[in-house]
């Protein structure tokens, strides 16, 4: 079988592509972008300093001004309140988060169907080890 001969790099890229595609579909159902979701989810446990959220999501920003644009969109839609450098969810923001959380949860469960917790944890450990090896120049 051809699939068995494909290297790990192929499967990493394919899984990443499918995760992005499917999660984007789930988020689009709630008219959210991936960055919107990350910001709403970061605020789900309560208000947080805007700078803390921005810094935590820094690896995901792809262009200058994206942070400001994404926050402005969430504020404009009535999902987030920005007050004295602190961001918090509104009731509408919480409802939108909770609905998206259900869709994302379903997708995550489907992704690991047929995989035991031990297998999942071992896979993550192995990928972490491989990434560490590559970062070290091994």
Q: What is the CATH number of domain 30-135?
A: 1.10.10.10
User: Cα(101)–Cα(96) distance, rounded to whole angstroms?
Assistant: 8
**Would you call 132 helix, strand, or coil by DSSP?**
helix
DSSP codes, 32-96: --HHHHHHHHHTTTS-EEHHHHHHHTGGG--STTHHHHHHHHHHHTTSEEEETTEEEE-HHHHHH
Residue range 60-82: mean pLDDT, rounded: 93
Domain edges within the chain: 30-135
Q: Which residue has the higher pLDDT, 1 or 19?
A: 19
Residue-wise pLDDT tens digits, 5-24: 899 999 999 999 999 999 99
Residue-wise pLDDT tens digits, 73-93: 999 999 999 999 999 999 999
Residue range 28-50: mean pLDDT, rounded: 94
The model's confidence at residue 2, banded by pLDDT at 50, 70 and 90, is low
pTM above 0.75, yes or no: yes
User: Cα(22)–Cα(64) distance, rounded to whole angstroms?
Assistant: 27
pLDDT at 57 over 80: yes
C-alpha gyration radius of the chain: 18
Half-sphere exposure of 27 (CA within 13 A, CB side): 16
The model's confidence at residue 111, banded by pLDDT at 50, 70 and 90, is very high
Burial 93-124 (b: 16+ CB within 10 A, else e): beebbeebeebbeeeeeeeeeeeeeeeeeeee
Residue range 36-40: mean pLDDT, rounded: 95
């Amino acid at each position: 079988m051809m699939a068995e001969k494909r290297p790990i790099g192929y499967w990493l890229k394919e899984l990443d592509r499918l995760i992005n595609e499917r999660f984007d579909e789930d988020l689009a159902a709630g008219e959210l972008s991936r960055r919107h979701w990350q910001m709403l989810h970061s605020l789900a446990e309560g208000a947080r300093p805007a700078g803390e959220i921005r810094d935590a999501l820094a690896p995901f920003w792809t262009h200058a001004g994206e942070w400001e644009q994404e926050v402005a969109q969430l504020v404009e839609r009535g999902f987030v309140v920005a007050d004295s450098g602190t961001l918090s969810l509104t009731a509408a923001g919480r409802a939108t988060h909770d609905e998206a959380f259900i869709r994302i949860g379903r997708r995550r469960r489907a992704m690991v169907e047929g995989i035991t917790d031990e297998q999942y944890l071992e896979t993550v450990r192995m990928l972490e080890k491989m990434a560490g090896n590559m970062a070290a120049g091994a």
